[in-house]
Structure 1
Amino acid sequence: MNKFILLLSLSLFLSCNSNAQKKETKQTETFKVFKTNAEWKQELTKEQYYVLRQSGTERPFSSPLNKNYKKGVYVCAACSTPLFESEHKFDSGTGWPSFDREIKGNVAYGNGYESNEEHCATCGGHLGHVFNDGPRDTTGKRHCINGVALEFIPEG
């Protein structure tokens, strides 16, 4: 009886591990830019890696991009994909850069757990979240983005 329980436990453990590994591989391979964790760690700062690759969140009011209102484009800090235009940025008062819309096709939503989570559609980097409490006179959306996940490219 003990051997049966041990065998059953072992087979359950192995089947759970293999499913998790398949899911992780499938998610990362769907993006155009694929790098190993070691490669990302080498290219990104510690804070960028925490947010972009580990779905972390930076402290509110810590990003200089929060109060940046210059004209230009905000791109992914990991792969330089254009994500948000400055004309769609607004002060949400939350402490994170906020936009009422994304550049269509360059932002992916959801990760299997949270449907409002936003990722770069090119590299899969975690950006932040989208909420339905944005400006009512435009889209009603608030894309609440970690500043460390972005780089600003000034117009011109």
Structure 2
Amino acid sequence: MTKYEVLALLIHDMEKFLHTHSDLQFYALAFDCNAEYANFLVCMNTIEEFEKTLQWYQKKYETYDQEENILDLRYNPGDWEYTDISQVDLFSEEELSAKYQDDIEKQCEEIMNFCEDILRDFKKTDVFEKIPKTSDFIAFCIDHDEDVKEALERQNII
């Protein structure tokens, strides 16, 4: 898909999502990327859902009273409530194979850069402006198995 096709899909899917969830306010949006397969999910979360998840983790695991683990949970889209706002497949397996052969390191770096470029453009859209946001709202890209803190630092968020 071209960047413009991806943006059109994201705008459409986000408008649909916001229409059905108009009563919510979000603290974060993430592109949960799987660079190895050249796809990503658009995810968001609310403070209320985060607090429910945090309480559940704190009851189950002693380590979720530590600031680092709370930060990780807060910004890990795998633990968020709204993880299927949009699903984007950037390239087919054949396209990936033709472009990168077996250079998975180069592929992952370029796919993440492409996702970050898409996010920068998405943040300039009217639909992004319409997202009900908390005052500390952030939007970021994270590779599916990437450390949350590293992803946020890489994008100068923390």
TM bracket (short chain) = under 0.3
Give the structure, 1 or 2, with the largest relative contact order (CA under 8 Å, sep 6 or more).
Answer: 2
Larger Rg: 1
> Please, what TM-score do these two structures have when normalized by structure 1?
0.22
> Please, what TM-score do these two structures have when normalized by structure 2?
0.22
